[in-house]
Amino acid sequence: AAAGFKLNGSELISSANPTISSGFGTSASIVSGNGTAAFTINVGSAGKATRGVIGLPVAAHGWTCWTNNITAAKGHRPENPRQILSTATSATIENQSTLTGAAIAWGNSDLLQVSCFAY
């Protein structure tokens, strides 16, 4: 496998593809990707799911992830996923209302575009 990208001796972007650790919806999956730099999650059959955990390679301290729900954006739904927790091996993403900040359920088969950087 190709090496990731390091900055000041620490991994910044990994060539290893992320995984779905828990949450999102039934049959959630990484449907395309280029390591941690850019990948797409299909949240699956969401039901009442409002958050999910992305499994990531080991970072020195944690991960900062930017996420965009392109399905919600295309449908003009007032929601956006936001990172709410980071560990050295994961990032937790929650779908939030852009009007109130409250956690709200994903739509079935919503597509999330994600980029994660280690710190």
pLDDT by residue (tens digit) across 70-102?
999 999 999 999 999 999 999 999 999 999 999
CA within 13 Å, CB half, 93: 32
- pTM of the complete model: 0.89
pLDDT by residue (tens digit) across 44-68?
997 899 999 999 999 999 999 999 9
If one counts every other C-beta atom within 10 angstroms of the C-beta of residue 112, the result is: 26
Q: Is a pLDDT exceeding 90 seen at residue 5? A: no
Can you tell me the distance from the alpha carbon of 90 to that of 88, in angstroms, rounded to the nearest whole number?
A: 6
Q: Is a pLDDT exceeding 60 seen at residue 2? A: no
For residue 28, which of 13, 10, 50 has the smallest C-alpha distance?
50
pLDDT by residue (tens digit) across 12-40?
788 899 999 999 999 999 999 889 999 99
Residue 6: what pLDDT? 66
For residue 103, which of 20, 23, 19, 18 has the smallest C-alpha distance?
23
- Give residue 39's region: left, alpha or beta (phi > 0; psi -120 to 50): beta
